[in-house]
Amino acid sequence: MLSALKKLPAALVASLALAACAAAPANRLHHGVLHLVGNAPFVSPVLDDEQGRRWPLEGVDKAQALALQNRRVEVEAGPAGAKDPLGGQPILQVRHIRPLD
């Protein structure tokens, strides 16, 4: 019994690590047009995809967003872990973005 109790913390750590890996969201490719919404200087980048969904984006710097504004882009992104406070799509954490035109 005592040896089983000694192994319990290691087993718990291992199972938590496996659960965390399984729960990690995978990146997906999204295609659409990058727009800036809001009023200067408080603008935020969003991606309007081909299905009519608007995805708020995190991880796009201001200079890059300005350069890609109103252009078709491919975005590799995963969920940022938060939803748009205005009730839209989940916020995407951008890993990579590139123009398609």
pLDDT digits (tens, 9 = 90+) for 9-30: 555 555 544 444 444 458 899 9
In a domain, 17, yes or no: no
In a domain, 20, yes or no: no
- pTM, whole model, 2 decimals? 0.70
pLDDT digits (tens, 9 = 90+) for 45-75: 999 999 999 999 999 999 999 999 999 999 9
Domain count for the chain, please give it: 1
In a domain, 52, yes or no: yes
Long-range CB pairs of 4-12 (<8 Å, 24+ gap) are none
In a domain, 3, yes or no: no
Could you list the residue range(s) of the whole structural domain that residue 71 is in?
28-99
Tell me the CATH number at 35: 2.40.50
Output the DSSP codes for 26-84: PPEEEEEEEEEEEETTEEEEEEEETTS-EEEEES--HHHHHHHTTSEEEEEEEEEEEE-
In a domain, 23, yes or no: no
In a domain, 77, yes or no: yes
In a domain, 12, yes or no: no
